[in-house]
Amino acid sequence: MKKILSILFTINLISINLYALDLPNIDIQVGTGNSYRPFAYMNDETLQGYDVDVLRLLTLYDKGLNFHFHGVPWNAIFVGLESGKFNILAFQITKTPEREKKYIFSDYPYFNDVSAVITRKNQHIKSFNELNGQVIGVSLGSNYALNLEKYLKNHPELSIRIKYYKNPPALIADLGNNRIQAIIGEPISSVNIAKAQGIELQATDIIIDKTPVFFVFHKDNMELKTRISQALKKAIDDGKLSDLSKKYFQKDLTK
């Protein structure tokens, strides 16, 4: 049995290498998160997470890609790209009209970001309308803030106040202390951050948006964008990107 598994593993590696791009080596500075578990976070002084591992996966298909990861807070991510400190951003970033005016994106998404209603463990909310007249918290400038603003604009019958936070721990602490009644966020990371703070939260089945996530580049860096997109397409077609999603989230969130 072990011999069969070894043969299958070898065949798998050979098949990947047959599709590997033969391109020049290039050093790429990556801007990503440093405390956004399970997407990008520090663990024993090493950056880990789904977004980080997606880029590492791409090196199987383009041997010349040499990634150097830099974990920073959300409010420093676009500044780093614009200043030239980073060549690419991998931080669960979705497209917006404002961002598309300033940056370019990979040809294909590598994840679908879910904007879900998250509450305290002892709350029992079955529909978004039950939050009418309440306060919902979101991270300032995040995809979730944009999605909530859009949702409320499309539902003028709802009277909900949005409270903005500069960092997720403060947002989650206020929910745990009943200062706000819910938050909009990515379910897995929100519950993980809450556990680290000793707060019990739950992700409801109420989802207000599902948005594709892309790698982001400076507008002048079309060559790198094309090269990353080519390797990403191979990982998608090969099924390896789906496998990575299932490893992290027990489901394929790439489609």
Q: What is the mean pLDDT of residues 81-98?
A: 95
3-state secondary structure of 143: helix
Q: Retrieve residue 225's tokens.
A: 């964008």
**pLDDT at position 51 over 70:** yes
Per-residue pLDDT, 163: 98
Taking residues 72-83, what's their average pLDDT? 95
User: In sequence order, what DSSP letters do the residues of 183-230 get, joined into one string?
Assistant: EEE-HHHHHHHHHHTT--EEEEEEEEEEEEEEEEEETT-HHHHHHHHH
Q: What percent of the chain has pLDDT over 70?
A: 91
CATH numbers and ranges of domains, the chain = 2-111+212-249 (3.40.190.10), 113-210 (3.40.190.10)
Inter-CA distances, 200 with 123, 136, 192, 197, Å: 11, 17, 9, 9
Q: What is the pTM of this model?
A: 0.73
